[in-house]
Structure 1
């Protein structure tokens, strides 16, 4: 049997830490021989941005996209590559268009998840469009912003319907803050969303393919300290619900590299943000969890290209809505049904069997690499590129300590 060569493309913005880590680990995977005796070799390239003929054949089997949610030229290249060439994408540019949160809220409300009360309000300022005045004058309904806010309930958050990185998010405690935030929103389309007060845990879960890591998140702290290294901070049943919600969102929208934020209050899980086209995987924020993220990304991408997993561009919502609309099912039964659909989409059983047979060495390989001078150099260079010179030693000690803790825990 002839060797099969696979190329994984990295479509990147400003980040360089995790791409270097991923590239280094992929080089160490080696060849994989499948059940038919074919040998698979996998390499990676960084995708460049240039004119393209729509009939050009890309060299890539799979592309990890970290750029097209805001840069339109590569977004259109990804759409062409998916539609014409069956290139596998993490994530789908069709459902992640502009990193829009609104549809995600709607879909998960339909499925019965405990999304806080949410209202979409019109633009505060006129749009830069010659037709706006006529259309607005004829069809825009007057509304009472204060009454609308009362229907949602204070405190609440005003946040962009398509935003990311907490940009434009305001906590609203009273009428004065409501008007100030709305006046500042300008031409941004905003949601009003009820706050979940006095929650017990803010959980952020990172899902890559069929693997999920649920982390305790502290949004009030600086980014380098937001992920707490704390295990068993959720009960087993609540932790499983957070994992199920995370994978459900991804399977529903055909996203495979995404983070989900949930507020846990008592035994209830309230998902508040789960459409992140470029989830955080920086070593300077994930730190302790960074090696897991790299191992999971490596396993899933290798699995996809070696097994010839086909991209799914369609959203088959019918089986999800069939569960959602079945009034005989309890919330727990619906979650179990969604989990089965998500596990089926991600081929969990086949994936685990493949990893056990072909990638069982990955965890040890990642541990050895994180222990190596190459990783030390990467961490050192990333810290020096990220923080002011007078803080280099402080942050090097901080992150080395967290990485050393991971190494000890995995030994």
Structure 2
């Protein structure tokens, strides 16, 4: 039987570090023997933006999208290849057109997660639309911002309903700050969301397919120091709940490359942000955790193309809501039900068996690559492209030390 070649498209914006890493690891992986007994090779190519006929047949079997959340032309290309050609996409363009948080809050509230109290307020300034004045005069109700804020309680956060990267987010401690932030919001549609005061841990989990890494996150630090290397900052039960919530969100919305932020207070997990169309996987952010992210992305994409995993654009929300709406189930029982549905969607058991039988070399390949001159060159070039000249030596030492820590912790026997 002839070898099978699979093409994986990379739809990219400005980033170059992790794509180079992924491309290098895919080359090193080479041929994989699939469950069908045939030899499979996955290759990647960077997708270019150009006119496309709606009836053309793409050569890609899978696309990793990091661009279409803001660039509409490739977004429509993704919709076309998903609807007409069954190309596998890690994030569904139908539920993830932008980093829009509102629907995610609503869905997870109905499912019973401990989302802080949240209110959506109208635009402060009129939209640039000729029909706005008439509609607003006839239908927009006057409202008392202070009374609305009282429903939420101080302190709170004002944040864009569709925002990302902490842009436009304000911590509100009193009415004066409330009005100042609302006046500054302009034409941005904003949520008011209760703060989780006195939380113990800010956890950020990155999930790729059925794999999740939960990391201790320090948002007050500069980006190179936000992910703290700490392997025991959550109890086993709380850590498992964070993982379950992350995978639930992804399975529910058909997102397979996404990050989730949660505040942990005692034994309560409060998810506060879990819709990220372009989760951070830069080596200068993840550092110690970067090799894991590349390993997981390699395993999941190869599994999908080699096994012929089919996209499921139908979200089947009724199965989740049947659990969430059942008053006889405890919170723990609901989480267990959601985890079962998520594992079913991601074919977790089949995936783990596939990795054990056909991708057992991945950890060794990644270790050898991280300890190679090729990786050191990538790290040097990324640091030089990211930081000013006078900081190069400092950050090469900083990230080099963190990578060396990963190497020690993952040393091959």
Q: CA deviation at 1:37?
A: 2.3
Q: In structure 2, what is the Cα distance between the partners aligned to 1:97 and 1:311?
A: 17
Q: State yes or no: 1:257 paired with 2:257.
A: yes
Q: In structure 2, what is the Cα distance between the partners aligned to 1:365 and 1:6?
A: 20
Q: CA deviation at 1:257?
A: 0.1
Give CA deviations for 1:110-136 in whole Å, capped at 9, x if unaligned: 000000000000000001000000100
TM-score (norm 2): 0.99
Q: CA deviation at 1:98?
A: 1.9
Q: In structure 2, what is the Cα distance between the partners aligned to 1:377 and 1:331?
A: 49
Check the 8 A contact 2:10/2:44 in 1, yes or no.
Answer: yes
- Equivalent residue for 1:149? 149
Q: In structure 2, what is the Cα distance between the partners aligned to 1:127 and 1:250?
A: 33
User: What does residue range 60-75 of structure 1 map to in structure 2 within 5 Å?
Assistant: 60-75=60-75
Q: Which moved more, 1:294-303 or 1:25-34?
A: 25-34
- Equivalent residue for 2:375? 375
Structure 1 ranges of 4+ moved more than 4 A: none
Q: In structure 2, what is the Cα distance between the partners aligned to 1:99 and 1:389?
A: 33
Q: In structure 2, what is the Cα distance between the partners aligned to 1:263 and 1:276?
A: 17
Give CA deviations for 1:176-230 in whole Å, capped at 9, x if unaligned: 1000100010000000000001100000000000000000000000000000001
User: What does residue range 221-300 of structure 1 map to in structure 2 within 5 Å?
Assistant: 221-300=221-300
- Equivalent residue for 1:305? 305
- Equivalent residue for 1:208? 208
- Equivalent residue for 1:101? 101
Q: CA deviation at 1:9?
A: 0.4
Q: In structure 1, what is the Cα distance between the partners aligned to 2:99 and 2:266?
A: 30
Q: CA deviation at 1:151?
A: 1.1
Q: In structure 2, what is the Cα distance between the partners aligned to 1:144 and 1:229?
A: 45
Equivalent position SS for 1:271: strand
Equivalent position SS for 2:108: helix
- Equivalent residue for 1:329? 329
Equivalent position SS for 1:77: helix
Q: In structure 1, what is the Cα distance between the partners aligned to 2:213 and 2:34?
A: 29
Q: In structure 2, what is the Cα distance between the partners aligned to 1:282 and 1:401?
A: 16
Give CA deviations for 1:388-409 in whole Å, capped at 9, x if unaligned: 0000000000000000000000
Q: In structure 2, what is the Cα distance between the partners aligned to 1:26 and 1:113?
A: 38
- Equivalent residue for 1:22? 22
Q: In structure 2, what is the Cα distance between the partners aligned to 1:98 and 1:372?
A: 37
TM-score (norm 1): 0.99
Q: CA deviation at 1:36?
A: 2.8
Check the 8 A contact 2:157/2:171 in 1, yes or no.
Answer: yes
Q: CA deviation at 1:31?
A: 1.0
Q: CA deviation at 1:41?
A: 1.1
- Equivalent residue for 2:123? 123
Equivalent position SS for 1:49: coil
Q: CA deviation at 1:99?
A: 1.6
- Equivalent residue for 2:400? 400
User: What does residue range 74-223 of structure 1 map to in structure 2 within 5 Å?
Assistant: 74-223=74-223
Check the 8 A contact 2:99/2:276 in 1, yes or no.
Answer: yes
Q: CA deviation at 1:35?
A: 3.0
Check the 8 A contact 2:35/2:307 in 1, yes or no.
Answer: no
- Equivalent residue for 2:349? 349
Q: In structure 1, what is the Cα distance between the partners aligned to 2:387 and 2:90?
A: 30
Q: CA deviation at 1:363?
A: 0.6
Equivalent position SS for 1:74: helix
Q: CA RMSD of the aligned region, Å?
A: 0.5
Check the 8 A contact 2:32/2:40 in 1, yes or no.
Answer: yes
Q: In structure 1, what is the Cα distance between the partners aligned to 2:305 and 2:34?
A: 12
Gaps of 5+ in 1: none
Q: CA deviation at 1:97?
A: 1.4
Equivalent position SS for 2:215: strand
